[in-house]
Chain A
Amino acid sequence: MNIIDRRLNPKGKSLANRQRFLRRARAQIVKAVRDASGSRSIQDIANGEKISIPMDGLREPTFHRSGNTGVRDYVVPGNKNYVEGDRVAKPEQEDGGGGGSEGSSDGEGQDDFAFVLSREEFLDIFLDDLELPDLVKRKMKQTESTTPSRAGYSVTGSPANLNVVRTMRNSLSRRIALKRPKPAELAALEDEIKALEESGEDPERLSHLRVEFEAQVSKSKRVPYIDPLDVRYSRFEHVPKPVTQAVMFCLMDVSGSMTEHMKDLAKRFFMLLYLFLSRRYRHVDVVFIRHTHEAAEVDEDTFFYSTETGGTVVSTALEVMRDVVKDRYSPADWNIYCAQASDGDNTSSDNAKTVHLLEDVILPLCQYFAYIEVGAEYKDWLGRESDLWRTYKSVEKPGGMLAMRRVRVRSQIFPVFRELFAKERNDNAAWAGGGKS
């Protein structure tokens, strides 16, 4: 008999089958994912997702008989008190009367096929046709920082890069080639000499052994255990890397007019953006800036949960953002994204300043600036759109960095998000840029 341990065989033998299956069911899965994500909180989205898809295109039909036609005989166990000739009512359909029909009665109305998508698969599908707007950085890419990447071995290098495995391999082969005596062999010789010395027999062999021992010892001195020749260092080459870090500015109006519901909408949008960015960039920083009539950088909890009273001056937030960028996030090293959420209020006198800041300072820094107006459709008594909306409208240019959307209820978040980042928007930007590849 043979026993073979297969546990260490490569895993994921059925991965190729799974990929084929996902490809086959792609249309249904995409739809299911979209549906699922609409009803789900953002935290859950990042986890794996159990989805159900209709069986269309996934059926494996066979010729089989329908359970509700024809005449059948069954033999079943466990007779209690039936005798020949008794008539009994038919059991519920799902029992099938014991080994009768296979599958559902008519093959239609089959249950949906439910299975679990891994987190990666889910996000892949969910964010599949979304692309980051990153046109600007294309020009800057060439001058980016570098990253060390393995490039074989070298005979020189710093001690920290010593490659022990390679070095010892070389050492071992050299020792074998030059027949360096092993410590165990030397010890054996020594023992034998000692034994002969004590017993005093065979002096001829003793002297012979002594000579050999001397020779071996001197040889082991001549052939070093590790020779400088053996030493190898891991070699690294510096390859230019695209910017793999991004910073996301979350700007929000927290004045009294922003209700919890509005904040919740904003939060959802921010988190979605964060999720999206963190798939594209190895490192994503988030900066929270809240503002009333004055703005401050705060931590996440304060940002979402503490209330503040005061007027509404949007330009203050933009100023703070400008300062933070200047201090910490040089546009050369960071991809800068900004998402602003507001109910559309702004002090009228501030509008001009806001436009100026946005157009001349903020937008040139940003990869993308998304403005989300949350809450009820805002129209003032003249039937005009909100202050901020009109202000930003004047800045918005087709194909520009600024995008504006309104979100009123939770279910609109995903469609709006998708709209903002849908591929068509910048399908000329074939270069996916900056991201993990």
Chain B
Amino acid sequence: MSEGLLFTGAEWDFDKVQRTHDAIAEIAHGELGLDTYPNQIEVITAEQMLDAYSSIGMPLMYKHWSFGKHFARDETLYRKGMRGLAYEIVINSSPCISYIMEENSMPMQALVIAHAAFGHNHFFKNNGLFRQWTDAKGILDYMDFAKGYLARCEERYGQAAVERVVDAAHALMSHGVHKYPRKRTPDLADEERRAAERREYQEKMFNDLWRTVPKPASTKQGSQELAERKRRLGLPEENLLYFLEKMAPKLAPWQREIIRIVRKISQYFYPQKQTKMMNEGCATFVHYTIVNRLHELGKLSDGAMLEILHSHTSVVFQPDFDDRRFSGLNPYALGFAMMQDIRRICEQPTAEDHQWFPDFAGNGDPFGTLRQAWADFRDESFLLQYLSPALIRKLRLFKIHDIAEASDMEITAIHNERGYREVRKALSRSYDIAHMDPDIQIVDVDLAGDRRLILHHMVENGMMLVEAEAVRVLRHVANLWGYEVRLVEIDSATDAILRIHEDIGPSVEA
């Protein structure tokens, strides 16, 4: 072996992996200042990679036919050569588990370790959303519990019964998350303090004139009752799974537990949905910086570096909008470009950068700036804060306004002085999860009457639900609720009722 090189040749072995990991760790912690969970690197085969794929990337997962379906599809695509496999899967847990494939060459393993075991790992440990919503230490134990629990339920109640609940819960998975931290219930001391504050405020604000203002006549008995009922049920509720778990009248305890499990998993993945672009950008930036540094230090051969760069460029490849390969913005490409751009702004700012980013342009501390961005932002806010005019020009981003009924679309902003803010705002908005998922809430249920559950979809910009799919999901909701369900689509701007999906009852149990 040549002097100083971590490895030569394409074959990998455990020694080389260990050595490479240690060299990468030195740079990652020493120079980039990353803060990571301890690493656990697991070597798996292509088939195991497919396994992991189909069970949404978790090493432990309960059994369900949909995973079998995804496996069958992925396998078919893979065998036909229509799709390659990911080089790695990384799990937000402590220790942070990264799967690497045995088929990878050693340079690829180095790339993957830098990318997953340090880039993603740092992001998982430090990003605010992950810190708030996920419990890295507990997730594997929880999945183990979930798997065992569902298996026991299947034994006890039969596969069909369990499937019925899991199917329904899966259909509502994207509407089974708490988007905001729940209110902490105040304790007695708190309550007393707040009551005192309120009283003091009222005393201060007392004005006898209010007594003379006529009272609104419409406080009828009915609407008060309705308000009371809604308050008791915690309505309106946008976490459909949570509501069904707590309130559905017909569910058995084990069914509620299954819903809870699905809900927890959905919640666990919620931060990943919101930070996809940043997470990948962070990991890509980290691996790019580290392998370049290793090459500079003479620890990577030119050949290995070329192989790594080849993979790197194909990962961050962004086809233009009129390219046949175009399928939206590549999160790796956009994320990486933004991280590189921030580094440039810190190190070699232009006058424009000083004007747009006065607080960090030219501060000479790119890694510190990036670490802060990685910790405090999600895709939407990150774009809004950090997307620079220079990058908009580089990517030649432009904004299209598309009205479904119209025959053509309008270009409303391009990469010029007038358009920068417009483009940035629109791009940021398209990463806002609140706008990506339709806003569906449970608004009312008549517990004393026919127990019909009423959902509202607040239609934004006229984007209606896919009718056939919505009916299928409603059937699942009805299966959990046990009675009829109605979905009303309401225009959020005008409050006009656009469409009513009429009372859908539960399907007959097989």
Whether A159 sits at the interface, judged by CB under 8 Å, is no
Establish whether residues B463 and A106, one from each chain, have CB atoms under 8 Å apart when the complex forms.
no
Given A4-B42, A62-B473, A65-B464, do A76 and B415 touch, yes or no (CB 8 Å)?
no
Given A7-B44, A69-B464, do A1 and B410 touch, yes or no (CB 8 Å)?
no
Enumerate chain B residues within 8 angstroms of A22, measured Cβ to Cβ.
Answer: 68
Establish whether residues A116 and B76, one from each chain, have CB atoms under 8 Å apart when the complex forms.
yes
Within 8 A of A (CB), among B80-134: 95, 99, 102, 117
A2–B398 alpha-carbon span in the complex (Å): 46
Contact pick for A73, options B64, B412, B466, B470, CB 8 Å: B412
Enumerate chain A residues within 8 angstroms of B440, measured Cβ to Cβ.
Answer: 63
The distance from the CB of A252 to the nearest CB of chain B, in whole angstroms, is 40
Given A2-B95, A64-B438, do A17 and B67 touch, yes or no (CB 8 Å)?
yes
A368–B162 alpha-carbon span in the complex (Å): 44
Within 8 A of A (CB), among B296-339: 318-323, 326-329
Establish whether residues A115 and B409, one from each chain, have CB atoms under 8 Å apart when the complex forms.
no
Which of A85-93, A133-141, A185-193 lies at the binding interface? A85-93
Given A21-B65, A86-B411, do A3 and B430 touch, yes or no (CB 8 Å)?
no
Chain A's closest residue to B387 (CB) is A75
Whether B180 sits at the interface, judged by CB under 8 Å, is no
The distance from the CB of B385 to the nearest CB of chain A, in whole angstroms, is 16
How many chain-A residues does the 8 Å CB contact rule pick out? 66
Chain B's closest residue to A69 (CB) is B464
Establish whether residues A116 and B64, one from each chain, have CB atoms under 8 Å apart when the complex forms.
no
Establish whether residues B40 and A1, one from each chain, have CB atoms under 8 Å apart when the complex forms.
yes
Establish whether residues B329 and A99, one from each chain, have CB atoms under 8 Å apart when the complex forms.
yes
The distance from the CB of A322 to the nearest CB of chain B, in whole angstroms, is 50
Given A14-B54, A75-B398, A75-B427, do A5 and B410 touch, yes or no (CB 8 Å)?
no
Establish whether residues B463 and A72, one from each chain, have CB atoms under 8 Å apart when the complex forms.
yes
Chain B's closest residue to A116 (CB) is B76
The distance from the CB of A120 to the nearest CB of chain B, in whole angstroms, is 15
Contact pick for B409, options A3, A9, A97, CB 8 Å: A97
Enumerate chain B residues within 8 angstroms of A116, measured Cβ to Cβ.
Answer: 72, 75-76, 79
Establish whether residues A14 and B398, one from each chain, have CB atoms under 8 Å apart when the complex forms.
no
How many chain-B residues does the 8 Å CB contact rule pick out? 101
Which of A53-61, A323-331, A346-354 lies at the binding interface? A53-61
Contact pick for A82, options B329, B402, B414, B472, CB 8 Å: B414
Establish whether residues B67 and A14, one from each chain, have CB atoms under 8 Å apart when the complex forms.
yes
Contact pick for B401, options A6, A23, A73, CB 8 Å: A73
Contact code string A352-376 (vs B, CB < 8 Å = 1, else 0): 0000000000000000000000000
Enumerate chain B residues within 8 angstroms of A80, measured Cβ to Cβ.
Answer: 320, 322, 396
A22–B68 alpha-carbon span in the complex (Å): 8
Enumerate chain B residues within 8 angstroms of A68, measured Cβ to Cβ.
Answer: 404
Residue of B63, B426, B466 with most chain A CB atoms under a 10 A cut-off: B466
Establish whether residues A21 and B461, one from each chain, have CB atoms under 8 Å apart when the complex forms.
no
Chain B's closest residue to A8 (CB) is B45
Whether B170 sits at the interface, judged by CB under 8 Å, is yes
Whether B418 sits at the interface, judged by CB under 8 Å, is yes
Residue of B39, B68, B99, B465 with most chain A CB atoms under a 10 A cut-off: B68
The distance from the CB of A153 to the nearest CB of chain B, in whole angstroms, is 35
Establish whether residues B398 and A65, one from each chain, have CB atoms under 8 Å apart when the complex forms.
no
Enumerate chain B residues within 8 angstroms of A59, measured Cβ to Cβ.
Answer: 469, 472
Establish whether residues A3 and B43, one from each chain, have CB atoms under 8 Å apart when the complex forms.
yes
A373–B452 alpha-carbon span in the complex (Å): 63
Establish whether residues A83 and B170, one from each chain, have CB atoms under 8 Å apart when the complex forms.
no
Enumerate chain A residues within 8 angstroms of B205, measured Cβ to Cβ.
Answer: none
Enumerate chain A residues within 8 angstroms of B321, measured Cβ to Cβ.
Answer: 76-79, 98
Enumerate chain A residues within 8 angstroms of B95, measured Cβ to Cβ.
Answer: 2
Which of B13-21, B228-236, B347-355, B357-365 lies at the binding interface? B13-21
Establish whether residues A73 and B430, one from each chain, have CB atoms under 8 Å apart when the complex forms.
yes
Chain B's closest residue to A71 (CB) is B461
Within 8 A of A (CB), among B263-277: none
Establish whether residues A6 and B44, one from each chain, have CB atoms under 8 Å apart when the complex forms.
yes
The distance from the CB of A156 to the nearest CB of chain B, in whole angstroms, is 45
Establish whether residues A17 and B71, one from each chain, have CB atoms under 8 Å apart when the complex forms.
yes
Contact code string B26-58 (vs A, CB < 8 Å = 1, else 0): 000000000000111111110110110011000
Chain B's closest residue to A67 (CB) is B404
Establish whether residues B466 and A65, one from each chain, have CB atoms under 8 Å apart when the complex forms.
yes
Residue of B416, B461, B476 with most chain A CB atoms under a 10 A cut-off: B461
Contact pick for A77, options B71, B72, B396, B403, CB 8 Å: B396
Contact pick for A14, options B39, B45, B71, CB 8 Å: B71
Within 8 A of A (CB), among B432-477: 437-438, 440, 457, 459-470, 472-473, 476
Given A3-B14, A17-B65, do A78 and B72 touch, yes or no (CB 8 Å)?
no
Contact pick for A74, options B40, B323, B402, B414, CB 8 Å: B402
Establish whether residues A87 and B464, one from each chain, have CB atoms under 8 Å apart when the complex forms.
no
Given A3-B41, A17-B65, do A77 and B402 touch, yes or no (CB 8 Å)?
no
Contact code string B383-405 (vs A, CB < 8 Å = 1, else 0): 00000000000011111111110
Contact pick for B465, options A6, A65, A73, A82, CB 8 Å: A65
Within 8 A of A (CB), among B149-183: 159, 163, 167, 170-171, 173-175
Establish whether residues B476 and A16, one from each chain, have CB atoms under 8 Å apart when the complex forms.
no
A113–B338 alpha-carbon span in the complex (Å): 38
Establish whether residues A74 and B400, one from each chain, have CB atoms under 8 Å apart when the complex forms.
yes
Whether B194 sits at the interface, judged by CB under 8 Å, is no
Contact pick for B329, options A65, A77, A89, CB 8 Å: A77
A19–B457 alpha-carbon span in the complex (Å): 37
Whether B66 sits at the interface, judged by CB under 8 Å, is yes
Chain A's closest residue to B403 (CB) is A71
Given A20-B159, A63-B470, do A7 and B102 touch, yes or no (CB 8 Å)?
yes
Whether B506 sits at the interface, judged by CB under 8 Å, is no
Whether B141 sits at the interface, judged by CB under 8 Å, is no
Contact code string B252-282 (vs A, CB < 8 Å = 1, else 0): 0000000000000000000000000000000
The distance from the CB of A107 to the nearest CB of chain B, in whole angstroms, is 4
Given A89-B408, A98-B328, A114-B76, do A5 and B71 touch, yes or no (CB 8 Å)?
no
Establish whether residues A72 and B55, one from each chain, have CB atoms under 8 Å apart when the complex forms.
no
Whether A100 sits at the interface, judged by CB under 8 Å, is yes
Contact code string A136-150 (vs B, CB < 8 Å = 1, else 0): 000000000000000
Q: Could you list some 23 contacts between A and B, CB below 8 A?
A: A1-B38, A3-B14, A3-B21, A5-B43, A21-B72, A60-B66, A61-B476, A63-B457, A63-B470, A68-B404, A69-B463, A70-B460, A72-B402, A73-B400, A73-B426, A76-B400, A78-B319, A78-B395, A83-B414, A87-B409, A88-B408, A89-B408, A115-B72
The interface of chain B, by Cβ under 8 A from chain A, is: 14, 17-18, 21-22, 25, 38-45, 47-48, 50-51, 54-55, 63-69, 71-73, 75-76, 79, 95, 99, 102, 117, 159, 163, 167, 170-171, 173-175, 318-323, 326-329, 395-404, 407-416, 418-419, 423, 426-427, 429-430, 437-438, 440, 457, 459-470, 472-473, 476
The 8 closest A-B pairs by CB, nearest first: A78-B320, A21-B68, A70-B463, A17-B68, A99-B328, A61-B472, A115-B72, A70-B462
Given A1-B21, A20-B63, 17 more A-B residue pairs with CB atoms under 8 Å apart are A6-B48, A6-B99, A7-B45, A11-B48, A16-B68, A17-B68, A17-B71, A62-B171, A62-B469, A63-B438, A64-B438, A66-B463, A76-B328, A99-B327, A107-B466, A107-B467, A116-B79
The interface of chain A, by Cβ under 8 A from chain B, is: 1-7, 9, 11, 13-14, 16-24, 50, 58-80, 82-90, 95, 97-100, 103, 106-108, 113-116
